[in-house]
Amino acid sequence: MKKGLFLSLILLATLGAYAQINADSLWIREHYTKKEVMIPMRDGTRLFTAVYTPTDRTEKHPILMTRTPYSAAPYGENKFVPFYTRYVNHYLREGYIIVIQDVRGRWMSEGEFVNVRPFNPDKKTNKDIDEASDTYDTIDWLVKNVEGNNGKAGVFGISYPGFYSTMAALSGHPALKAVSPQAPVTDWFMGDDFHHNGAFFIMDAFAFYSGFGKPRPKPTTVGPSDFNYPSKDNYKFYLEAGSLRHIAQLMGDSIAFWKDLYAHPNYDTWWKARNIRNFLKNVQPAMLVVGGTFDAEDCFGAWNTYKAIESQNKGTDNRIVMGPWYHGQWASPDGTYLGNVRFGSNTADWYQQNIEIPFFDYHLKGKGQAPDIAEATVFFTGENDWKKLPSWPPADVQPRSLYLHEKGGLSIAKPAAGNSFSEYTSDPAKPVPYTEDVHHTRTISYMTDDQRFAARRPDVLVFQTEVLQDDCTLAGPVTADLVVSSSTTDADFVVKLIDVFPDDFSYGDAATATAHRRYNSVAYPMGGYQMLVRGEIMRGKFRNSFEKPVPFVPGQPAKVKFTLPDVAHTFKKGHRLMIQIQSSWFPLADRNPQQFLDIYHAENKDFIKANIRIYHDAAHPSQIILPVIP
């Protein structure tokens, strides 16, 4: 009977949702028209643009635009995007003119597509174009040609469209009043999507470019075909595929950007031109940067786009919102949990109603008073609470070192031992997996996954504090400052910051916990859970310079110091703080052959074992520097 009642309730809820969807769909079609136009750019290239305009003529309407490489579909003026499935429906009810544009060279737009096309600060002729100029030309056409607009425009987008939103902020068009880059692609070598500190994120890169990267010789409404994987086990597939040289053969010869990735293994001028942080100056619109602290793709981009604007633009209205979200979760209906970790409220809905909607309503419609949006609105996991802060990182943050000790100790006391180290063997033939389960595609929840599976491996070092006697809140970037040695000339170093839950921890109602996980009949055992708070990889040869890598001297201690993306987390009283260190994170990151060479062109025979030492003695202290709020 309980099962039958449960299914009946689901059916009623589903029918109710469909009824609402159909009602919203009908309302939009009755109150909006859709036009498809080819907007000319200054160099003569025309960009396909879908314009949804309210039929209401009693007032002037603002323009809200997304520029995307992922298609402005559905194509056809009688086919509407299903806005009604998202909170974006609010903007239609408020009478916004909604614009979706295929960027240059993608889908139905003319021209040549260039991945993360560099910003050109010195445009001299109409042939000098970039994404900022395309945005300027689009807005200029819209305000002059779309009937009933109020002369104000906004731009927003998530991920790659977040990159185009950042570029829009550099357009300088006077009608552009508000921009929200959300999880914006920012620097594909240092921290977003395809590289972290020089380590190639092979799984995301291959999965993306094997489809997205295929050439499009002419405008089309038909997307590229997906790669036919021989195995649905990503660990098995990438291990058997072998070195990056062999994976390039699987990719084929037609994908230009894949060749570019292989041709630029170091942080050279080609990469620096594609780091938009270098150009974020003279930003005029109001800015709302949005991201997720557990975004597996562009967590780096959100934090660092905000910081770059803040440091290079005095007086710009620049704010950041970071919630406990996977990639794009803030735009979803449900922000109550990620994987096994629960947040105590619908954080996505709170953001939508209290931050984004008031931001655009005020700047584009002049609706209400200036919204009460703090400089930094950040959700702190652990305590599950939003904090409105006057700066990020908070001004009162104090760096506190936790030192590694023998026998897995971790404390504020500096090590006093002599010649003390922990050691493991890193074997590229058996790399440490990034998650416990078998998956085909990279999971969204690994950013909060239980790390007990890794702690049990002999090639993962574990250091942890005693049980905390007080809460410990971290706010800002974490620094790993290690002294290491390798028996070979190169190695990677993965550092993971982990919250260890008490053995008797439980979320309470088992049925509710189960519903938030996998709809299994048994709730996940949260007692002793090792929650990943932040993990990051550093390619050892870049420890001194990303431009000029250097080898390790086998057996000789060397400093490896790098920064992990910002955290916003409270380790509660009764928990422990854990650090795990390993030399592979597969197949998130490609395997390091552990020899000093061009990894992109290494052969399978080049992969060798390495004996890794992490030192923790008086002469060679290794430490993790935490941003602690006192």
DSSP string, 223-274: PPPPP--S-S-HHHHHHHH-SHHHHHHHH-S--HHHHHHHH--S--HHHHHT
Q: How confident is the model at residue 20 (pLDDT cuts 50, 70, 90)?
A: low
Within its chain, how far is the Cα of 131 from the centroid?
A: 21
Say if residue 445 is in the same domain as residue 559. yes
Say if residue 317 is in the same domain as residue 413. no
In contact, 481 and 561? CB cutoff 8 Å = yes
| Helix boundaries (H) for 437-517 | 452-455, 510-515
Please indicate, yes or no, if residue 205 is contained in any of the structural domains.
Answer: no
pLDDT one-digit tens code per residue, 140-165: 999 999 999 999 999 999 999 999 99
Alpha-carbon span 545 to 550, nearest angstrom = 8
- Given 389, 410, 429, the domain boundary residue is 389
Instruction: CATH number of the domain at 565, please.
Output: 2.60.120.260
- What is the structure's pLDDT at 1? 42
In contact, 442 and 560? CB cutoff 8 Å = no
Q: How far apart are the first and last CA of the chain?
A: 53
Q: How confident is the model at residue 10 (pLDDT cuts 50, 70, 90)?
A: very low
Output phi, psi for 50, to 5 deg.
Answer: -95, 125
Instruction: Output the 3-class SS for 541-609.
Output: HHCCCCCCCCCCCCCCCEEEEEEEEEEEEEECCCCEEEEEEECCCECCCCCCCCCCCCHHHCCHHHCCC
Say if residue 116 is in the same domain as residue 65. yes
In contact, 322 and 373? CB cutoff 8 Å = no
Residue 367 has pLDDT above 50, yes or no: yes
Q: Which two tokens stand for residue 560?
A: 């490896």
Residues 6+ apart with CB under 8 A from 574: 467, 468, 502
Give, in order, the Cα–Cα distances in Å from 598 to each of 367, 494, 523, 601: 56, 20, 46, 6
Say if residue 385 is in the same domain as residue 403. no
Lowest mean pLDDT among 38-52, 173-187, 377-391, 508-522: 508-522
- What is the structure's pLDDT at 19? 55
- Given 325, 359, 389, the domain boundary residue is 389
Closest CA to 132 of 114, 120, 150, 142: 120
Please indicate, yes or no, if residue 301 is contained in any of the structural domains.
Answer: yes
- What is the structure's pLDDT at 514? 44
In contact, 392 and 568? CB cutoff 8 Å = no
Q: Is 555 left (phi over 0), alpha (psi -120 to 50) or beta?
A: left
Q: Which two tokens stand for residue 277?
A: 């942080």
Closest CA to 513 of 344, 271, 305: 344
* 516 exposure class (CB count in 10 Å sphere: 0-12, 13-18, 19+): buried
Please indicate, yes or no, if residue 543 is contained in any of the structural domains.
Answer: yes
Give, in order, the Cα–Cα distances in Å from 326 to each of 120, 202, 336, 422, 427: 32, 19, 11, 34, 31
Say if residue 444 is in the same domain as residue 574. yes
- Full residue range of the structural domain in which residue 168 is found: 16-189+272-389
Say if residue 418 is in the same domain as residue 354. no
Residue 517 has pLDDT above 70, yes or no: no
Q: Which residues pair with 483 in a beta bridge?
A: 559
Please indicate, yes or no, if residue 567 is contained in any of the structural domains.
Answer: yes
Alpha-carbon span 67 to 138, nearest angstrom = 10
Please indicate, yes or no, if residue 11 is contained in any of the structural domains.
Answer: no
Q: What's the domain count of the chain?
A: 2
Calculate mean pLDDT across residues 544-571. Answer: 98
Q: How confident is the model at residue 336 (pLDDT cuts 50, 70, 90)?
A: very high
In contact, 359 and 344? CB cutoff 8 Å = no
Q: Is 71 left (phi over 0), alpha (psi -120 to 50) or beta?
A: left
- What is the structure's pLDDT at 509? 58
Calculate mean pLDDT across residues 102-129. Answer: 97
Average pLDDT of the chain, as a whole number: 94
Residue 24 has pLDDT above 80, yes or no: no
> How does DSSP classify residue 352?
I
Alpha-carbon span 247 to 203, nearest angstrom = 11
- What is the structure's pLDDT at 369? 79
Bond prior to 587 in cis (omega within 30° of 0): yes
Bond prior to 181 in cis (omega within 30° of 0): no
Q: Strands (DSSP E) along 70-210, which ranges?
A: 97-102, 149-158, 176-182, 195-196, 199-200
Sign of the C-alpha dihedral computed for residues 359, 362, 367 and 369 taken in this order: positive
Residue 511 has pLDDT above 70, yes or no: no
Say if residue 330 is in the same domain as residue 430. no
Alpha-carbon span 456 to 476, nearest angstrom = 29
- What is the structure's pLDDT at 50? 98
Say if residue 326 is in the same domain as residue 404. no
Instruction: CATH number of the domain at 378, please.
Output: 3.40.50.1820
Calculate mean pLDDT across residues 532-556. Answer: 98
Please indicate, yes or no, if residue 230 is contained in any of the structural domains.
Answer: no
Alpha-carbon span 295 to 304, nearest angstrom = 14
- Given 335, 356, 389, the domain boundary residue is 389
Residue 251 has pLDDT above 70, yes or no: yes
- What is the structure's pLDDT at 523? 83
In contact, 81 and 89? CB cutoff 8 Å = no
Q: Strands (DSSP E) along 336-470, which ranges?
A: 337-338, 341-342, 376-380, 385-389, 398-404, 410-411, 421-426, 461-464
Supply the angle between the helices 234-241 and 202-212 in degrees, to the nearest 10: 90
Say if residue 384 is in the same domain as residue 408. no
Please indicate, yes or no, if residue 265 is contained in any of the structural domains.
Answer: no
Say if residue 343 is in the same domain as residue 453. no
Alpha-carbon span 404 to 555, nearest angstrom = 20
Say if residue 383 is in the same domain as residue 405. no
Say if residue 80 is in the same domain as residue 174. yes
CA 296-587-159 angle, to 5 degrees, is: 25
Q: How confident is the model at residue 370 (pLDDT cuts 50, 70, 90)?
A: confident
